[in-house]
A and B are shown apart, each in its own frame.
Chain A
């Protein structure tokens, strides 16, 4: 039982490059989330999903896309990375909004 895993753990990109972050959970959770965390700020929601095949925008969705083709996986894509996207990215999953969110270990992304 791995919980929530994220790959990669670290990544450095050049401006304009693209990449995909993968999140996987083995708890059969319906809800999955992508957050970014910047210094001095709490978590900000990028996109979320309430079930396989569904996605929705969160607070800061611009510059990101997501997909949830399988219930256990939630992918976050950056089509054209910008320095403003330098951050730590967390994936989380939960049974519902009112239950505990289980977090992955985070991905530190630097965009040069």
Chain B
């Protein structure tokens, strides 16, 4: 069965420091997309970053970047220069089939001022 694992239920980081959230998955597909979503206390789910598996280059969106290791089926999210507004639950997800995403259980990120 396909799975996605976020092994860190909670992480904390000092403001302005860098933190990496881990995500591993299991798929037999060779071409797929991977997603990181953020859910702040407001409960609104927001896309952080998307990675296309066939691309060698890691995706980057401002302070957010991924470390995509296709062979290891690992998709980590790196947040640089952490800000108080980054405090949220972070979920990784990838396609279970052509119609559904499978979601990790989430990592709660705490930012220490």
B44 within 8 A of A: yes
Categorize the interface residue count of chain B: 20 to 34
Instruction: Report B103 CB to chain A, min CB distance, Å.
Output: 4
Residues of A within 8 A of B105 (CB): 40-42
A27 within 8 A of B: no
Residues of A within 8 A of B37 (CB): 101
Residues of B within 8 A of A41 (CB): 105-106
Asked whether B99 lies within 8 Å of A48 as measured between CB atoms, the reply is yes
Picked from A48, A56, A92, A97, the residue with its CB within 8 Å of the CB of B45 is A92
Given the contacts A90-B45, A103-B45, A106-B43, A97 and B103 also touching, CB distance less than 8 Å? no
Asked whether B99 lies within 8 Å of A56 as measured between CB atoms, the reply is yes
Asked whether A105 lies within 8 Å of B44 as measured between CB atoms, the reply is yes
Given the contacts A40-B105, A42-B106, A98-B33, A50 and B99 also touching, CB distance less than 8 Å? yes
Asked whether A97 lies within 8 Å of B43 as measured between CB atoms, the reply is no
Query: How many angstroms from the CA of A88 to the CA of B50 in the assembled complex?
Result: 25
B68 within 8 A of A: no
Asked whether B101 lies within 8 Å of A97 as measured between CB atoms, the reply is yes
Most buried by A among B37, B98, B100, B101: B101
Asked whether B103 lies within 8 Å of A42 as measured between CB atoms, the reply is yes
A82 within 8 A of B: no
Picked from A42, A58, A90, A100, the residue with its CB within 8 Å of the CB of B104 is A42
Show the binding face of A for B, using Cβ within 8 Å. 31, 40-45, 48, 50, 56, 58-59, 88, 90, 92, 97-98, 100-101, 103, 105-106
6 A-B residue pairs with Cβ-Cβ distance under 8 Å, sorted by A, are: A45-B101, A58-B100, A97-B99, A98-B95, A100-B50, A103-B44
